[in-house]
Every structure is written in structure tokens, then in C-alpha cells.
Structure 1
Amino acid sequence: MPPFRDEVVFVIQIGSQTTKIQYGLPESLTPPQRTVPTRVYNASDGDAKALYSLEGKESEAIYPIRKGRIDNMDALLYLIESLYRTTTNSHTDSPFAPILLTCNSEWQPKQIEEIITYLFKQVHVPAVTIIPESLAALYAYALQIACVVNIGDEKTEITPIVDFNIVESAQSVVEIGGNDINKALESLLPTLQSYQIEELKRSPIYEVLGDKSMSFFGEPSEPATSSMEDEGIVDVAAIVANGNAREILAQREQKKSSKQVDLKNSEMPRNSFVDSKGQTVEVGTERFKGTEDMIEKLSHEIGNVIGKLDDIARRGDCWENIIIVGGPTIIKGFVDAMLLSLQEHFLITRGTTYSELPSGLNTPGYGTPPATPAIYGQTLGHGQVPTTIKLAKMAEYFIGWKGHTWEDAPFLGSQIAAKQIFTPGIASIDGAYVSREDFAEHGAGEIWNLGLL
């Protein structure tokens, strides 16, 4: 049985922009204790050996990970050790907290082994395990099979997982991410500063509209009116005849204001938010735009990835368990729009049987644009077109995560995995980490024998 207690387990998820940390696993799992920038600062001051600090000027900032790839290993190792020691309050040479670290497909095997070696030799941790972020997302949904779409800042990783095993031959990494939304909004709203664009994207007024009458497909339609008063027409004769014009006009203005307050964001031609500097920023229908190209490209790539699976039945399982995580999922309507796009491109939309579909099927609306049969042909053909496309249903028994956005689902999955790997219990997984003894006998390469990477 795993020998560690819940309260001493250290979980760390490192992304290109932010790093999420948890020390100790409560009985009911919660969102990360700390979220910090994935950033260190150059403190060398002319020294031959590179020195780093967790504080400094932006001009001296170093970002160890770019587009998911490890760009500066020394800076990354310093960040991991510093966060480990400050979070666990361990400044000794023999801390007792085992580490679960997530990675992505852009991390090279030699880099993973270098991290493990450093943690044992320099930080003196008792045990280490590393799992892919996509696999962690799967744990959060309590599934065995899914297609995980992990949208980052500058890249998206699309990973089919079958029976807890990543299908590497089908996995894809595309340079499409949250920054593409920012670029689109910057072209639409050239008067806004970069920080305002980012804050608009995260504000309640920014959303993706799935209704075709709305601006996801066109401009928002005007709210319907049902009376002369609703349309702003004043019956002057009636007011004069009544004899209390002032009171009637005041009531009318109050009613008009009340109706404006009740309008949904999608029904308002303009809406505003307050930025971090206290300025009120008013935005028109541009606040419904900027995601169209991204959603379209990702949808096609998801279809391409699932189409690479050899087992047709497994393709169907993946189509019925699409997991979408990452920053853009906090945008209202984004995930629903992704599902709608997948259904429009790949779903059979008429009553038919597989026997009715020709093996060389290449018809718009049945899986692929007509101009690109070579790219999407793998998803087509006899018995290969999905009849159902669904988003995976998130587990609902984590009370601490209620009301929290599921952009961080991989972190929840990391906590679940850490609990099973390091601590005793009914669901414990034996032999899923590298211990200090394992490292001394077999080296960092022992990580590949665990079956997690």
C-alpha cells in the first residue's frame, strides 16, 4: 500500500502562463491553494552561473515554458524547487512530501528524466510521479475513454485516450489557443489596450452566442416590441386628458429603465465592464466575436484526430466523451459552440443506417468539407461517421469545486491521481511512483515502467 499521508502530498501543474499548487489533499478536494505565474527572474548580476529569484523586474523575467515546451530547464527546476520548499515550509535537506507533477506531450523524455534526477538529488524528495495533463483531465471525469481537448494560451493539445492509455499515433498539437481570441478582438477593437482585451475576454459581457440569429453567426437581432409604449411612442393626448402628465411620464421612465436592466447581455446592442484600472469600457457587438476561426479549426482537428483511431467502436466512444478544458472554456457559450460546430461538421443529421452510406462518402454535412477529402477522409466511409457527439459529463460529487469553472479540471484530476498513487485506501494504485530506493537502483528511467507516460 502507498505509505504517505494525505496531508503531505504535493501536487503541481505547470503551464506556460500559470502554475497551480496544492499541498495536502483534503477529504473533499478543492481548487488549487495557489496559482502563480510560471515565471522567475534573472538574479545573476554578472555571475558566471545563472541565478534566479521569484521576484524582480519585468525586464528580467524568464518564462521557462513556451507553447508547452520547456524553454529554460534551469529556470524551471528553480521554480519547482522554490515553490515546493516555500509551500511545504521545508528548508531542510530531507523533506517528506512526495510530488505529483503534470506534463504535456511537448516535454521530451530526456527533460522528464532530468527533472526527476534533480528532484531526488537536489531537493531530496521521497517519491515522484509524473502524469500527462490530458490523462489528469480524464481522471476528473471518472472515464476510461475520451477525447481530451486542452486549450492553452498558444497551443491546443488534442488527445484520444482509450482504457486510460494515450493513443500517441492519433494525438495532435496545434498552435491555436486563447491568444488567437485576443488577436481577433484587437483587430475588432483597436482602441482598447492589450490588458483591456484580456479583461474583456474574461468579463461577464463577453460570450459566444450559439443562436444563429445572434452574432456568433451574424449580428444580434433587435428585441421584439409589442406596444407603442415599448417602441418609445408617447400618446400625448391620453396624458393630457388624464391631467397628471408629470406623474405618468415619471412612471413611464421608471418602467423603461426597469426593462433595460432586465435585458440579457445578448439582447443589448452595447454593454460595459470595469477594467482593473477602474475605467468603464463600453463594447458593442464585438463582444460576441473573436472565437469563430478558432472554433472552426479546432473542430476539424478534433475530427481528424478521432478519425485516426483504428478501432471504429472506440471512435464512437470518443465522439460521445469530448472533454474540453483550458482557459477559453470560462467564456460563456464557448464549449456549447464547440459542440455545435462538431455536430454540424461530423454528425449524421438524417434518419439513415450505415448500410445506406457509400464507402466513399464525401458529402457536405456528413463529416467533411467537399474540398478536403484527403484530410478528413479517415473519419468517413462505411460505418465510420458518428451518430452521436456529446460532451463528457463532469463528476458532481466534489463539493469544493461547485461553482468553480472547469478550465482547471486537469488539476482536479491530478489531485485524484495523487490520492490514489501516494495514499492508502480502497482505490489505491500500487507501484505508480518512483521512490528514492527505485531511483537509487534504476535511475530516472524507472518512470517509463510505471505505465503513466
Structure 2
Amino acid sequence: MPSFKDEHILIIAPGSQTTLAQLGLPDSFTPAKFRFPTRMFPAEKKGEWEPFKIRQKVITVKKTIPKDSATRNDATAPTTGTSNAAEKSEDTEMKDAADGVQQPAKEQDTRPELVEVEEEQVVYEEDPTSDEGAVYPIRGGAVVDWTCFFALLTHIYNTLSPPFHTPIMLIAEPVWTLRDRETLTQFIFEKFKTPAFCLMDSAVAVCYAYGTPNATVVDIGHEKADVTAVTDFMASEYGRGIALAGCGGDAMTSRLFELLQSQGFTREMCEQLKRSNICEILPTGTPLPTSGQDREPAKAPPPSAPGKGPDIARNVGNGDADDDEGILDVAAIVSGNTSEYLAKREREKAEKAATRKGHGDSSATTKQVRLPNSKKEKATFQFQEYKPVESRDESGQKTKQFVLHKRDVEVGTERFLATTPSDTKASEHGSYSILDTLAAQIHHTIHSVSDTSKRSELWDSMIILGNGSKIRGFPQALVSTITQKYVLSPSGTIFTSEIPSALSTPLPTGGTNTPAHQPNPSPLLHPAAHGVNPLLVAATHANNPIAPNHLNPSMNNPSDPNASAHHRSTGHSQTPTSVKLLRPPEYFPEWKDQGSGGSSAASMAANNVPASGGAVTGVATSSNNVGMEEATFLGAQVAAKVIFVIDQGLTKGFLSRVEYNDAGPTAIHDYSV
């Protein structure tokens, strides 16, 4: 099979709200160039779909037609009087003919007379901003309408218009069944006649983006969340958290709407509030700000001692003119005008007083403005909405236009409660918040991995992505919840009463009770272990066959040949000792400094630095406000480069057309990544 070119590879990543697509691989991988809303509209003919809402509109147009046609259209049935007049005219003409008198022919104008009339016409127009009657084929990651989904894929394929020799890579959702994958494979090969097709798991694509073989991928979507443990670039199906309901971004919007509905907020206002920079998820145990915190006056700096610090010139010596305000320059008075000099001194004093007062007010204002969002009881965000305005076009027809209106809306501490338990759904989820549900699922997923030696690495290689995780402080709050619930904190004071005494058993030396000196101190008595929990020291040395351990006397012989054979260090596989977010890659400049919270939050969490704190309507070619929360598409580009260009099918990374013809759609299970 000939090798594929970078510019011919087609990548499609379906989502519940937005489908990402791109034709060709750039030299430096970028965010998706095309963003399609994952929806279609029923057409007039049953079984057909349109990408936009088609509206029927009746307009009145002016049309010029012959007068005879207009008269003919308005004519009615002939009456009796008209019939008699026609008979009389016929008799007259016959009489003239009988007399033999031939009338001369008169020249007549054969051009018809034109008149202007108004006529109603029906026209059809596309409304790209409307969502009325839209059908979303994907709900919670699962395909619920296959005909609509196939129409969406066809629309994307026709819009990008790839050449004939184009391989296709499609990102698969974890909730898709084996039958779903076979149905999709059959459609791709039969409809698009592609030479090669790759179906890649979304969690594995994220690992390709981060360049790690082992990771715990937490994908926060619109209506659900997925938790996957990936080991050696293979997704672990056992214990995988698939389509966790009530843990997506839509649940956070519903919670904000539940809290703010009584204050006149609409759901659209809550959605824009969630996407603003004042909506923040505080770590577990952080108190909500009160009115006394954001009104705290600015504190004056403490006075420094004379002769120390940067205020030496102000406190000591003659460097500052403020110390000489009561002293007059006698030489200036003698040599000049006394009244002018005194007036000048008064003006200087007034200016200095005003300057000091202005500096004090500005410093207090600056301190108030620079107060972090987590310390403010109230904050404002800008709400944008389109309001209809009726106008008339050139023909006088009424047309409805929309004008963008912006206004500032003030919100209280409710903006910090997007992930708290819902009051209306307490019967379904109980008192568990979104963070509690995700933390429990992550713990279950990692502990379901059969290879216990990989569990510690999975805890230290956590990736949180998805547009639902773009809320400020969400990654840090989730890590804080996991740490509080499941991380083992090594304390130097617990179980100290259970540690054996450091003194050896008294020896029979004539009644003396002097402890015998131990030539080889045990790990519990290591001189460098002061302040460390002795149980942890014993646990770390318990599996070491060489170090002597009084808790396991059978392992005291280092020369035992069977000692090393039975020794196997599995690490802390039962309970995590640390939880870390994986640092995003820095060699993709287009992904580094973009996004409203995904990559920056992960970077701060990886460095252990605390944070400071509408649906797509058409095809968009801009990559603004896109970061590592869409790392799945970045990983798809990396994998497409490896599978289609470098590997060329040697490791069965894609299903070719020849193999599909031989084995059918079921062969995709042997070639999917």
C-alpha cells in the first residue's frame, strides 16, 4: 500500500455539542480548524437532513405583465347584454360586405400594453443562528439517532471535500459498544470509499497528546464524565467509569440556575456565568468570603526604625523637605519679595497635602481592586444577549433583526457552589457532590487495574480535560477532594505506642539492667530517621531481604538464596500517598498559552502552585480560547502521524480497504487503537 501524505489525512472527533474536524496535518499541530455543531434539522422530505434551519417566508414582489393577461385573469363569465352586442356587430359587418364597399386597413400598434402588479412568492432561507427543531444525534456520548449522525458525517465530509485517497481517523467515545463500532465502520467504507480507517479511543488519544503510556484520564463533557485508566497505551475496560451522569458541565449550569433562579437569573445567564472568570470552584474546606473580607481597609505599612530600611532619608538627616516645613529661608526673604516667597511656600504645602491624600486613596483603591476573586463576596460579569428589532427592507417588507446587548450582572457567593449537591436531585445522588462522585470513581478505576505496580504511577499521572473542566479552580478542587478522602498522610505520631522498645532485653550480667549495645542498628533506629513515622520506615524495609528486620525474623539471613526469589516490591498499591496532575507538553506553542483554564490550571497544579483563586452555531475556523481541555484532538493528530505516515499499518493501527472487503466490519476490533 502506498504511504499516505500529511495533507490528505482527515480527523473527526465527535462530541455531544461540538464536532471537531480537520483535513491535513500541519507542521506544528494546532487546534481543530473546523468546529461543527453536532446537530441536524429535518428536511421537507422524510429521511433527509439539513445542516441549518430552513425557514419559509412569503414576500410580495412587483411584476410587469401585459394588460391583456391581467384583464383575462380578472374577466368573468359573459352576460346576455354582451351576447346581443356581438350579434349586432356581426350583422353590420355582413351588411358592409354585401354592399361591396371595402374599408381601408388601419395601421395598428401590435405591442401589448404593460402593467405592474404585485404578486406573493414563497422563498426559503437558512437561519444559522437558530436552534429550533434541531436534533442532536449524540446524548451523553452515545449515538441515539444513527441517520442523523450519518447525515452529520456526510455534511462534514462534503464541507472539507477531501481527495479520493484520504484515510480517516475517528475518535470513539468510551460508551460506544462493539456493534456501534461495526456500524460506523461499515458506513465509512461504503459511503466515503476511504482506503484506510482508524477508530481510536478518546482516552488513548489523550495519552498520545501528553506523551505518556500510563495515565488516569478524567474527561468532563457536557452531560457526563468518563474516567479511564490507561496502561501501556491500552485502556483498561475493567472498572472504567463510563458516562457518569450528572457530572458534566450541564449539571453545573443546572446547579447555578437552581441557586440563582429566585434572583431573576435565566438558564442562559447561568451558562454565561459558568464560563466567566468569576465562577470558581474552591478547594475542599475553603470558607466562603463574607462581607467583612472584601471591605477590609488597607493597612498602613509598619514604621521602620530610625537608621534602618528604605526610609532612612525620611526619618534621619536633612534629605526630606517635609522636615523643614516650619523653617524659613532667611536668605531668600532678604534677597527677594517676602510676600511672594510666603505665598509660594503655602502653595507647595497645599500641593504636598493633596498629593499625600491622593496616594492614600489610590493605594486603598488598588488594594480593593486587587483582592482575589475567592475573597470577594460579590462580583460582576458581563451578560450578552440578542434582542429582536423589527425593521423594513428596501421593498417595505418587515424583517426581524437581532441587536447585541451587554450589561453587567452582580453575583454573590453562589458562583462558588456550581459543584455542590443539588437540592432537587437529592433522591438520585444523595448528598454527594460532583467532586465526591468523581473522586470515588477515580479511586475505584485505579484500584481495578490488575497490574498493582502501575497504580502508584496512575495516581501521579492524572489528566483532567474536557470543556466541563474549564471552570476556574476545578482541577485543584478535584485533587483536593481526592487528597482529603483517599491519600494516606504519613504522620509521625500515630501508632507510636505499638512500636517495639528501642532497648534490648536485659542480659543476665549479675543483676545489672544495662542495655546491650547493638552493633547494627535496625531501620527503626536509623540516625537519619528522626521525625519520620517509624511504621513507615518499617514498612519500606519489610520487603527488603537484605536489611535485617526484627518484625520478620525469618528474613534476617542475607545469604539465603531463596530470599531474593520471594522478594517483590509492589509499592503503595492499596492506598495512594500522593496525587499529581500531569504537566501538559510544552513543545506545542499553539496549545500552550490558550484556553480559559485547562492547560494553565494543570500547569499550576503540576507545579504545586495554588490558583489565584453557547452552543456553537456554525463552522468556526478560529482557535481562540482553546487549550489542553481539547487535548483529545491533539493526540489524534499525533497518532495519525504515527499510524498513517510513519507506521503505515505495520502494527495494525488502521483497517485497510482490502482487509475490510475480506473480513467485513467486524475486523475493526482487531485494528482499533
In the TM superposition, what whole-angstrom CA distance separates every residue of 1:39-81 from its partner, at most 9, and x where no partner exists? Answer: 11111x2x4x411011015332110000111000111111112
* 2:574 partner letter: Q
Structure 1 equivalent of residue 248 of structure 2: 177
Count of aligned pairs between the two proteins:
408
- Residue 391 (1) aligns with residue 551 (2): no
Alignment of 1:115-130 (within 5 A): 115-130=184-199
Q: Residues 211 and 316 (structure 1 numbering): CA distance in 2 closer, same or farther, change over 3 Å?
A: closer
* Structure 1 counterpart SS, 2:12: strand
Shift in CA distance, 340/325, structure 1 to aligned 2, threshold 3 Å: same
Kindly indicate whether the alpha-carbon contact (under 8 Å) linking 1:2 and 1:428 is maintained by their aligned counterparts in 2. Answer: no
CA shift for structure 1 position 431: 2.8
Q: Is 1:200 aligned to 2:273, yes or no?
A: yes
The 2-side partners of 1:126 and 1:189 are apart by 53
8 Å contact from structure 1 (residues 329, 406) kept in 2:
no
In structure 2, do the counterparts of structure 1 residues 96 and 178 end up closer, same or farther at CA, with 3 Å as the change threshold? same
- What corresponds to 1:257 in structure 2? 365
**Deviation (angstroms), 1:272:** 1.2
CA 1:17 to 1:392, structure 2 compared with 1: closer, same or farther past 3 Å?
Answer: same
**Deviates most, 187-196 or 347-356:** 347-356
- Structure 2 residue matching 1:58: 3-state secondary structure: coil
- Structure 2 equivalent of residue 32 of structure 1: 32
Name the structure 1 match of 2:142.
69
Structure 2 residue aligned with 1:80: 153
1:209 is displaced (CA, Å) by 2.5
Q: How much does 1:260 deviate?
A: 2.8
Aligned to 1:439: 660
TM-score, normalised to structure 2, is: 0.57
**Structure 2: stretches of 5+ with no match in the other structure:** 54-129, 302-348, 386-405, 421-432, 491-532, 541-570, 595-626
Q: CA deviation at 1:212?
A: 4.2
Q: CA deviation at 1:202?
A: 1.0
CA contact (8 A) 2:290 2:377 kept: no
Alignment of 1:300-339 (within 5 A): 300-339=440-479
Q: C-alpha offsets along residues 121-165 of structure 1, whole Å, 9 cap, x if unaligned? A: 122222211111111111111111111111111111111111111
In the alignment, is the contact (CA less than 8 A) between 1:159 and 1:171 conserved in 2? yes
Distance 2:364 2:419 in 1: 33
Give the CA deviation at 1:2. Answer: 6.8
Deviation at 1:258, TM superposition (A): 3.1
* Change beyond 3 A, Cα 1:354–1:317: farther
Secondary structure at the residue paired with 1:222? helix
Letter in 2 for 1:434: L
- Do the aligned partners of residues 447 and 318 (structure 1) sit closer, same or farther apart at CA in structure 2, a change above 3 Å counting? same
Task: Kindly indicate whether the alpha-carbon contact (under 8 Å) linking 1:32 and 1:411 is maintained by their aligned counterparts in 2.
Answer: yes
Contact 1:330 1:406 in 2 (8 A): no
Q: Which moved more, 1:55-64 or 1:137-146?
A: 55-64
Which residue of structure 2 lines up, in the alignment, with residue 51 of structure 1?
Answer: 48
Q: Distance in 1 between matches of 2:363 and 2:654?
A: 65
Q: Distance in 2 between matches of 1:254 and 1:428?
A: 67
Partner of 1:353: 536
CA distance in 2, matches of 1:413, 1:432: 14
What's the TM-score once normalised by structure 1's chain length? 0.83
**Aligned partner letter, 2:453:** A
- Superposed CA RMSD in Å reads 2.7
Contact 1:213-1:219 at 8 Å conserved across structures: no
* Matches of 2:438 and 2:650, distance apart in 1: 35
Shift in Å, 1:255: 4.0
Alpha-carbon displacement from aligned partner over 1:373-426 (angstroms, at most 9, x marks no partner): xxxxxxxx996111222112222111121112221011111111111111237x
1:73-108 Cα shifts (integer Å, max 9, x gaps): 111111112102211x25xxx722211101112112
Deviations along 1:8-56, whole A, 9 cap, x unmatched? 111111011111111111111001102221111111x2x4x41101101
Alignment equivalent of 2:408, drawn from 262, 280, 284:
280
> If you compute each CA radius of gyration, which structure gives the higher value, 1 or 2?
2
Q: CA contact under 8 A between 2:290 and 2:376: conserved in structure 1?
A: no
Give the CA deviation at 1:214. Answer: 4.0
Match of 1:162 in 2: 231
Q: CA deviation at 1:169?
A: 1.2
> Which of 621, 636, 641 in structure 2 is aligned with 1:414?
636
Measured against aligned partners, the alpha-carbon deviations of 1:288-336 in whole angstroms (never above 9, x if no partner) come to 2212411121111111111222322121121111111111321121101
In the alignment, is the contact (CA less than 8 A) between 2:460 and 2:580 conserved in 1? yes
- State the distance in 2 between where 1:166 and 1:2 align: 30
Tell me, what secondary structure is at the counterpart of 2:384?
A: coil
Segment of structure 1 superposing worse, 148-157 or 347-356: 347-356
Contact 1:147 1:321 (8 Å CA) reproduced: yes
Matches within 5 A, 1:209-224: 209-210=282-283, 212-215=285-288, 222=293
CA 1:227/1:435 → structure 2, altered by over 3 Å: closer, same or farther? Answer: closer
Residue of structure 2 in register with 1:366 after alignment: none
Cα separation, 2, equivalents of 1:106 and 1:77: 18
Give the counterpart of 2:374 among 266, 284, 304.
266
In structure 1, distance between residues paired with 2:475 and 2:484: 14
Q: Percentage identity across aligned positions?
A: 31
1:445 deviates by 1.5
Q: Hey, what does 1:296 align to over in structure 2?
A: 436
